[in-house]
A and B are shown apart, each in its own frame.
Chain A
Amino acid sequence: DAGITQSPRHKVTETGTPVTLRCHQTENHRYMYWYRQDPGHGLRLIHYSYGVKDTDKGEVSDGYSVSRSKTEDFLLTLESATSSQTSVYFCAISESTVIRQETQYFGPGTRLLVL
């Protein structure tokens, strides 16, 4: 498995509280992604980064913000958590060193429960 860790692995929080999830990689890959996974919806892209301080929105970005101050770290923040943000969050990385090869490597995931 690629060197990707996510922290925390599990979190329970209350509605309205801020939450930050961390993704850390040791592969020096350029691209990093945050997905959420919910039953019946598969994997949905929240935000992604294509370099330090370079980020863009995915298909379900409302209520989420991200930051990438170092190549190895990509943070996902829920400014004010809501119950609809209860989900499993996956970080992924990829490196576009070869054209048309965009294989993504996933972290172990963070299970977030918002009460």
Chain B
Amino acid sequence: GQQVMQIPQYQHVQEGEDFTTYCNSSTTLSNIQWYKQRPGGHPVFLIQLVKSGEVKKQKRLTFQFGEAKKNSSLHITATQTTDVGTYFCAGLNYGGSQGNLIFGKGTKLSVKP
């Protein structure tokens, strides 16, 4: 079945350093979404990418969707302690069941002040 792989599983950075997490799908995706989960919290939607090669920015966060719509990345510039949490990508493939996102296992980010 469809799989979404996410790397790295963990990332420890010094405050001010950059951070990137990568997401790869075994199949072509209709869209990809990114979620953030703070420690002890619930996943919160960040953004959705739909178009091949799409790039979106939210302040220090840059999201990219690959040309083949099989991979994506999230890059955080100059991390802050408020960026701590687990970042999940989730891919949607309309070849499967409608409305069911396939989540990656997440990248847990820790930021040392």
Which residues in A have some Cβ–Cβ distance to B below 8 Å? 1, 31, 33, 40-45, 48, 50, 56, 58-59, 90, 92, 94, 96, 100-109
Find out whether the CB atom of A48 lies under 8 angstroms from the CB atom of B48. Answer: no
Stretch of B39-47, B60-68, B72-80 contacting A (4+ beta carbons < 8 Å): B39-47
A-side contacts of B1, CB under 8 Å: 59
Find out whether the CB atom of A90 lies under 8 angstroms from the CB atom of B99. Answer: no
Count B-side interface residues using an 8 Å CB cutoff. Answer: 26
Which residues in B have some Cβ–Cβ distance to A below 8 Å? 1, 6, 9, 30-31, 33, 41-45, 48, 50, 88, 90, 92, 94, 97-101, 103-106
B74 CB, nearest partner CB in chain A, Å: 15
B-side contacts of A92, CB under 8 Å: 43
Among A1, A42, A56, contact of B103 (Cβ-Cβ < 8 Å): A42
Find out whether the CB atom of A43 lies under 8 angstroms from the CB atom of B98. Answer: no
Find out whether the CB atom of A100 lies under 8 angstroms from the CB atom of B50. Answer: yes
Complex CA gap A86/B83 in Å reads: 28
